[in-house]
Every structure is written in C-alpha cells, then in structure tokens.
Structure 1
C-alpha cells in the first residue's frame, strides 16, 4: 500500500473501532469497487499527519489575520465593523427567489418517482406485445427528456429574464444540474426493471436517500456507517461558514479593489487587465482551494455523516499528480463517475475513445459556462477555452512525460492552476464589470427618455 492508503487504513481502524485485515479490504474492493467504507484523503491526512495538520492550522491563521485586517480597515476607513457581511449579503441577494427556484427543481425530482412507478405498472402489461413495447420505450425516453428539459429549462429561462445574485445563482444552477444527473442515473438503472427485468424498483425512501446522498451513481444499496457523529457534522458546517467568510475577505480586500473602477473609463489599457490578472493569481488560487475544500470536503462529508453514507472518497490526492488525465479523474470523483458511466462508456464503443473524451470535456465545459453565464449575466467563454481546448491538449502532453518527469510536471500543473485561476477570476470580474456598465448605460437611457 502507498503511504496515503496506509493512513486511510489506520483511519478506518480508528473509525470502526477495530481494524480490517488487508486481505479483507482487498476482498471488499473486489466485491464492490465503486463503493466501500473509506474516509476522504484530507480527513485521513489531517488525523494522521502532524505536518498536514500544521498546514490546516496555517490556513486557519490566515483566515484570522484576514478577519483582523478587515475589522481594522473598516474601523479606520468607515468607522464601523463590516467583517465581510456586505459582500456575503450582496452575493446571496434575493434568497427567497433562489429558494423558490430550488423548490421547483426539487419537486421535479420528486415527481419523477411516481412517474417511474406508473411507467413500470403499465410496462409490465405492454412487454407482451413487441411493437407496443418499442413505442412504450420511446414514450418513456420522451417523458424523461421532457422532465429534465423542464428541470433545466425553467431555471435557465427565469435567470435569463432577471438576474439573481451570484451565490444564489450558482446554487440554483448547480442544483439544477445535480438533480438532472440524479434523475438520469435512476432512469438508466431502473429503466429495464420497468419491463420485469432485474430486481424491483427502489422504494420511495431509498429514492429520497439517493437524492440527498453525496453521489451521482445509483445503487440499490450503499455501504453505511453504524451511527451519525453529530459533532463531526457541526464541525464541517462550521468549516463551510468559515470558508464563506474566507472568500468574502479575499474578494473584499484583494480582488474588488483592482476591479471596482473597471469599465468606467472610456478606454481600458491592456496593462490594466494584465496587472489585474496577476493581482488575482494568489487570491484566485486561495479561493479555488477554499472552494474545493468547502464543497468536496466539508459539505459532502457533512451530508455523508448525516446520512451515514460510508464512502467518503469524493476526491483523490490530485495535488500530487503530474498528469492531467489523472487530475481530471481525481479532483472530483463524484462528477467524474457520472460522466464515465453515463457519457463516456456509452459513447466509447460507438465513436472511439478520443472523440468520447472530447465530448465529455465539451459537455463539462458547457455546463460550467452555463453556470457562470447565468450567475454573472454575461457569456464569456474563458472556462470553456481552458477546459475544452487547453485541457484536452494537455492530456497527451502530460500522459508520458508526467510519468517520466513527475516532479517537473507536478510543478507545471501547479503553475497552470495558478495562471488558470488568475485568468478565470480576471474574466469573471471583467464580465461582472461589463454587466454593471451595460446596466448603468441602460438605466441612463431610460432616465433620459
């Protein structure tokens, strides 16, 4: 076993109260390679390595220093304490409208289950007639497309008609895609069962469990832990709240000062954009790491603990890799597993591995651009260029060289992370500034008329 696997094994011993032998762990992986009881890599590293725990403490200290810096700045410049609350309040904006959109998405996801039950009840009688069953399959696929079209189309139409604040828009659009992927996973797994093939359909309780479970791959059963550790749940939610403040401090103190006046001038110099990009590199990487930790470590582990979901391997140690192919598989295993099972594997035998890989990258980049365009109110395909073009080109470049020169290409990957996040953050601020400029011009036109 590698050092990380060894620490994960010791973490499993601490979690269950008794150790499993290596042979038992190996047999368990053979039985179900997709899911098993295991902790997240960072959970294992923080619990078992004093060095990683010290790095964690360093990030906590940085948060405290940003807090003190913001408090002092607010007292000196404004005479009152803000501590980033204005950025958070502006970011979430109209929470009521965002909550209503999420409730619509959730009701569509719940409505899918009785529709599936009704389809299965009719399908058992239709299967006796081959021609009728073929038409019934087409009817089922059409119904699924309509339901997912409504789930995705209505929020997109609503957000395009009237802009919603950034954080609320990101939440609504990410949940839109998450629930659509959940429905698709259940439909693919349970479609043949509607005609009496395979085990019976899942219960409503298990379906709701899957809706909230931190996975996009459907199974009739998941490995479960013995109990919910509510102290761990509370700790992870505190981490989520702390990271929200962390990002608000980064934006207010290091990013917004460079972009607050952007777009107000009649002409923008190229040097201003370049200087802003380099100014956004370090806070951009910090924001990227905070976002990764917030969603894939704190948020998903909190829900896994509440639901006693045993498999916490939501990501792997992507920070050590020297190949982009492994990075894309390791950085977000939750989404990667869905793309692998429901996009890459069905396409690869028909279109080939190269074209299937390109389709996966294109769909992923397009989904990211939809989230950003609806959240900022402006289409600016920087992320699509980085994912769909540069990301694909990096696969063959680092495939062999990454193995031959792991240290050099790990350095190269981190360099690309720094510049990539700086570019994305610059583009996001530029699109936000342009959006505000356009709105200001439209308001001026309306007032003059």
Structure 2
C-alpha cells in the first residue's frame, strides 16, 4: 500500500511523462524490504546465537560490576551516573531541536510562496534568472538559520556529550532534508509540470527514515507496536551498554589523565590497547543502535516499507564497498546531491574526494561541538587514511577477499582503539590540567599536559638475546 503525498491536478490520477520517469526512479531506489540483520536473525539460528552472545556479554559484565562494587564498596555503580551526566541539560538541547523543527516547518509555506512567484513570472522569461537566484538564496538562508543557532549556542556554552550529539545530528539531518526537498520541488515551482507535495506528506518526509525525497514511498499495511517497543528497548539497552563500557573500561584509565604532571609511556600504551575491545564493541553497538534498531522503530511507526538502511558491510574486502554499504541513508544522499551533480563537471575522482571531504567535515563538526574541542582524529582516520585505502583495496580486495576482509577488520579494531583513547585523553586533560594562556579550542591540550616520559633507567633489551646466548 502506498500513500500519495501530491495534490492531484489531473483527473483520474493521471500524470504526465515526467511523473512516470520519477516513479520509475523511485521504484529502483525504494521497495518493501527488510534490514539485512532482521532477515539474518529471523532466518539463521547461527546469527541469532551471535545476537544472544552479545546480550549475554552485557549481562555478565553487568553482574561482574554489580557484585564487585557491592562486595568491595557496598554500593552499585552500573553506568547510570554516566547516562545522567551525558544527557545533562536536556531541556536546552530540546529547545535547540524545537527551534530547528520550527524553521523546517516554516520552509513549506515559503515553498508555496515561491511556487506562486514562479507561476506568476513563468511567462516573463527575462525574469527567470532572478527567480532562480531568489530560490537559491532562500534555501541558503533557511540552511543558515537551521545551522547557525545550534552551532553558536553550543560554541557559547558547552552542552553535555549525549545531548550535543543528538542536537548536532538532528541539525545535519534537517539540513540534508531541506536540500532534498529543494532539489525535487524547485524545478516544479518554476515550470509547473508537477504539483508540490501536501503539507502532510512534507511532514511525513521530515520524520521518515530516508534523506531522499519522493512523492510516495512503499508503505506497510499496519503498525506492529510490539516491534516498535522491542526496537526502542534495544536502543535504550545499547545506550546503557555504551555508558557502562565508558564507566567500566574507559574512565578507570583516563579519568585521572592530567592530574599528575607526568605519565609513563607504558601506561598510555597499556591503556590504548585496553580500549581496543571496548571501542569495537561500542562501534558495533552504535551501528546496531542507530542504523538498525532506531531506524526500524521509526519505519514501523510510520509504516515505511523500505528498511534497507545498510547492507552487509561486514563481509566486504574493499573500502569503497564498505563506505557504500555502511550507511545507505547518508550514502544515497551524498550520491544524489553531491557526487552525481559534480561528476560530469569535475570528473569522478574529484567528485569522490568532495564526497569524502564533506562527510568528514560533517563528522568533525558533530564531534567538535559535542566534546567542546577540535581534535581531528576521526578526520584523519576517515578523510585521509580511509580515502587512501579505497584505491589500495580496489583491485587487491577482489583478488584476495578473505585476506583483505581480515585487514579491514584489523583497521576497525585499531582505529576504534585509537578513537576511544585519544578523545578521552583530550577530554579529561582539558578538565584536569591547570589552565594555561595557550589553551585553545583548536590546539589539543593532551599533547602538552601531562608530559609523557619513559621509566627511569629504561633501556632497550634485544628479545633475541636469549637465543644468541
């Protein structure tokens, strides 16, 4: 069953050839289908067992912490304090989100006014360039209005990490949605060949789990509220799980970082390797939470039929395929609104680089506003090393798929271990180190405080010496 969100201007629902072309494109992009993990968990006892293993790991870690803290300290500490602190001042975050939502809702009447201007000036071809520029200026103004207030407000006064991530991610989601609507409806306002969407369909698109605008989407017949509750329960459990990992494995190593003037290099190395496994678990849980549980919950509530939000990225041996499959929602938007328009003008390599650059900057803005400092670790890993790995694995990944799938997973482990070490080190260094006149939003404080030293009288000992003797 499909819901048509377009005002009918033609009898018996007939549309012209342009609409037919758009419907064909829509059918290629959207269809009723389940998420890969939903199909795997439902159809494979092996995958279901792996899912149960992750649940059991959470239960065992939880029991370990509860019993140890109860016996050792007489209290229970299971990550709830991290959740409360991470989503602190949630009212302020909600106000920023409501502001962005109001701007987005106000865009629809502006679109209707622009369509009226386009209709009035249609017979005056000399005015067409001015009308086009007016539309572009209007979209830019709305985009600036969506981004400016949250960015300025978060830069003025830091919001806690969880609340900041939610606000900035929603900000970028609204920005991309406005671009999608403008690209689809802008030509309609000028030529009048197709009607604008209804306000109901416009609102539906703003909350639907896609960034590509279509006049209609494949719909399911009913809402299965049991599925909604199950997925939302998974989201809550994973948030708790990640906060538990932070409190159980990250804070013991890095919460005191910067309180002493020096730190031994061996301690840093041990801490960074200790963060590898929690980092990868958090990486996988974050993927499952956002791209599977959260989006499937919203799809079920909105009866959105196409739930292919990702593909089997975990089996690939080429980084180009990983970037396409990891997040199809964002990848499809980047493809349609950046890569495809640029590729004929600049060539595929420059268009690809632009996609990576824009995506990297967006990720870095989210992290910088959320943490309260600029530390481009993810930018280097994703926007530099990731780009380099794309051509390096393009051919070799096809020839040696097993070996390069192993290499890809090795890079995930190492990369997440580095992320879960360097960002906490900088986060706590800015809180524990004494203030300095050289403190800056853009200069990492953890590079100078504390001082990293080797053990006294440290010397290198040849591990092969015992064989030589």
TM-score by length of 2: 0.86
Structure-1 separation of matches of 2:24 and 2:407: 33
Contact 1:193 1:200 in 2 (8 A): yes
Q: Are positions 1:368 and 2:363 aligned together?
A: yes
Structure-1 separation of matches of 2:385 and 2:375: 16
Contact 2:313 2:325 in 1 (8 A): yes
**Cα shift at 1:194:** 0.5
Contact 1:376 1:435 in 2 (8 A): no
Corresponding residue number in structure 2 for 1:219? 214
Q: Which has the larger radius of gyration?
A: 2
Corresponding residue number in structure 2 for 1:228? 223
Corresponding residue number in structure 1 for 2:431? 436
Greater helix fraction, Structure 1 or Structure 2:
1
**Cα shift at 1:431:** 2.2
Q: Are positions 1:306 and 2:301 aligned together?
A: yes
**Cα shift at 1:31:** 7.3
Structure-1 separation of matches of 2:361 and 2:237: 30
Deviates more, 1:126-135 or 1:312-321: 126-135
Deviation per residue, 1:332-356 (Å, 9 max, x gap): 0000000000011111111111111
Aligned length: 416
Superposition RMSD in Å = 1.7
Contact 2:119 2:192 in 1 (8 A): no
Structure-1 separation of matches of 2:394 and 2:378: 22
Corresponding residue number in structure 1 for 2:325? 330
Contact 1:317 1:330 in 2 (8 A): yes
Corresponding residue number in structure 1 for 2:203? 208
Corresponding residue number in structure 1 for 2:188? 193
1:222 aligned counterpart, secondary structure: strand
Structure-2 separation of matches of 1:223 and 1:217: 13
Q: Are positions 1:157 and 2:152 aligned together?
A: yes
Structure-2 separation of matches of 1:167 and 1:388: 24
* Structure 2 counterparts to residues 98-113 of structure 1, below 5 A: 98-113=93-108
Structure-2 separation of matches of 1:78 and 1:91: 24
1:312 aligned counterpart, secondary structure: coil
Structure 1 unaligned regions, length at least 5: 1-27
1:217 aligned counterpart, secondary structure: coil
2:136 aligned counterpart, secondary structure: helix
**1:321 counterpart (297, 316, 321):** 316
**Cα shift at 1:30:** 8.5
Contact 2:256 2:432 in 1 (8 A): no
Structure 1's 195 and 45: CA in aligned 2 closer, same or farther, altered over 3 A?
same
**1:56 counterpart (34, 51, 55):** 51
**1:416 counterpart (411, 415, 432):** 411
Structure-2 separation of matches of 1:129 and 1:316: 48
**Cα shift at 1:265:** 2.0
Q: Are positions 1:249 and 2:244 aligned together?
A: yes
Q: Are positions 1:285 and 2:280 aligned together?
A: yes
Q: Are positions 1:184 and 2:183 aligned together?
A: no
Contact 2:33 2:307 in 1 (8 A): yes
2:238 aligned counterpart, secondary structure: helix
Structure 1's 74 and 194: CA in aligned 2 closer, same or farther, altered over 3 A?
same
**2:253 counterpart (258, 274, 293):** 258
Structure 1's 356 and 319: CA in aligned 2 closer, same or farther, altered over 3 A?
same
**Cα shift at 1:128:** 1.6
Corresponding residue number in structure 2 for 1:12? none
Structure-2 separation of matches of 1:371 and 1:334: 18
Contact 1:29 1:36 in 2 (8 A): no
Structure 2 unaligned regions, length at least 5: 1-22, 440-469
Deviates more, 1:142-151 or 1:301-310: 142-151
Deviation per residue, 1:147-193 (Å, 9 max, x gap): 10111111011001111000000000000000100011000000001
Structure-1 separation of matches of 2:175 and 2:342: 19
